């Protein structure tokens, strides 16, 4: 082994999950941001933990509304997922530049994204300040699937490749 800079070693951390986090600001602006730092926080109750940079519009909206949606993107959503990952709702209405179709959620005021593999409505139950990010813990209060089976995984440098859900070799 050779001692290297942290960033050099971090190049080997992929593949990484990618989820689309949907939020709504206190003024009602709906936003989507892909998040790779996402994991399950607990199984009873079921929670999602997401790491969101403090500078993101998404961060402010979660602080304000205490709700968010986690959607697992399908292969059909690759282009729009990447668009949302490189543009901020602080600067533009990015959703109008995408083909995302939003549907009403059941238990929270944030919409879900049609044609995702699955979407989870979450209510904020805890948060951890990690300096430039916050880890938000959301309890799942409703979940939805579309029937889409081909998902996306990040193999590095925001290169999203397709995988088939549940496929056995
Ligand atoms: C594949 C991918 C994964 C990302 N993962 C994260 C992440 O884990 N945490 C984060 O804060 N930003 C992440 N980003 C960056 C945000 O999605 C991006 O900065 C977005 O424009 C924020 O939008 P907003 O300001 O409208 O909230 C990721 C972007 C891409 C393309």
Task: Kindly list the averaged pLDDT for each block of 10 residues, start to end, along the chain of length 169.
Answer: 97 96 98 98 98 98 98 98 98 96 98 98 98 98 98 96 84
pLDDT at 166: 78
Cross-strand bridge partners of residue 139: 47, 123
**Ligand 1 atom having least distance to the Cα of 31:** 26
165 found inside a domain = no
Cα gap 23→67, rounded to integer Å: 7
Q: What is the pTM of this model?
A: 0.98
Q: How many domains does the chain have?
A: 1
**Ligand 1 atom having least distance to the Cα of 34:** 17
Determine how many CB atoms are found less than 10 A away from the CB of residue 160.
19
Closest to 52 (Cα-Cα) out of 32, 72, 81? 32
pLDDT at 165: 83
Domain boundaries, position 20: 6-148
> What is the CATH classification number for the domain harbouring 80?
2.30.110.10
21 found inside a domain = yes
153 found inside a domain = no
- Sequence-distant (≥ 6) Cβ neighbours of residue 54 within 8 angstroms: 132, 133, 134
1 found inside a domain = no
Pocket of ligand 1 (CB under 6 A): 18, 31, 33-37, 51-53, 56-58, 82, 85, 87-90, 154, 158
155 found inside a domain = no
- The alpha carbon of 169 and the centre of ligand 1 are apart by a number of angstroms equal to 32
């Amino acid at each position: 082994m050779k001692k290297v800079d942290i960033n050099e070693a971090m190049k080997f951390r992929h593949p990484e999950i990618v989820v689309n986090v949907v939020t709504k600001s206190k003024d009602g602006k709906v936003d989507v941001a892909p998040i790779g730092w996402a994991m399950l926080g607990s199984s009873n109750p079921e929670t999602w933990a997401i790491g969101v940079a403090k500078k993101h519009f998404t961060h402010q909206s979660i602080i304000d509304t205490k709700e968010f949606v986690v959607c697992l993107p399908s292969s059909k959503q690759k282009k729009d997922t990447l668009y949302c990952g490189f543009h901020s709702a602080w600067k533009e209405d990015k959703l109008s530049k995408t083909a995302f179709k939003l549907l009403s959620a059941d238990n929270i005021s944030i919409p879900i994204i049609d044609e995702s593999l699955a979407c989870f409505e979450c209510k904020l139950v805890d948060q951890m300040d990690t300096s430039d990010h916050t880890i938000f813990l959301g309890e799942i209060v409703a979940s939805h699937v579309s029937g889409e089976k081909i998902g996306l995984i990040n193999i590095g440098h925001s290169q999203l490749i397709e995988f088939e859900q549940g496929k056995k070799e």
